[in-house]
Amino acid sequence: MTTPLALSAYDVSEETLPLDRELYLSLAPAVLSLSAHETSLQPRDYERLARQLAAQARVLAENLRRLCIQLPEDSMTRDLSEILLGETERRLSAPPRATMARVQNLARLVRALYERLDCLHRTAGLRGAVFSS
């Protein structure tokens, strides 16, 4: 049994980015909990979610890119960050599809980007720099 996703809480435009971290960190598990037989969402809902998650992923990737270049070139943290940036680029370059699978993949991507940014904050002492732009 799935809980209907309250989309209005996530209805924002790209002009308001970067968005509230908690909003997206709560959206990811909500989207990921949807089953393959979910019927409460329409294609336009998936399209809107995909646009919002992709926009947030772009903002997070840009923040990660800025922090990544501050790390030593031989740093494992930098290597892992660059791998994630490459994956982000691949996922965001895919043709947009309004499907549950696409939205769930974007939710995973946003979650991974936040996790990597948090890791950089902890390991590089860059607390607060990511969200102050």
C-alpha of 65 from chain center: 14
pLDDT given for residue 4 in this prediction: 41
- Spell out a b/e string for 100-117, using b for 16 or more CB atoms within 10 Å of the CB, else e: bebbbbbbebbbbbbebb
Contact 117, 56 (CB under 8 A): no
pLDDT, mean of residues 90-102 = 86
Note the pTM of the prediction, 2 decimals. 0.76
Query: Is the predicted pLDDT of residue 66 greater than 50, yes or no?
Result: yes
Tally of CA atoms within 13 A in the half-sphere of 129 that contains its CB: 18
Q: Compute the CA torsion angle 106, 111, 117, 120 (nearest 10 deg).
A: -120
pLDDT, mean of residues 37-60 = 86
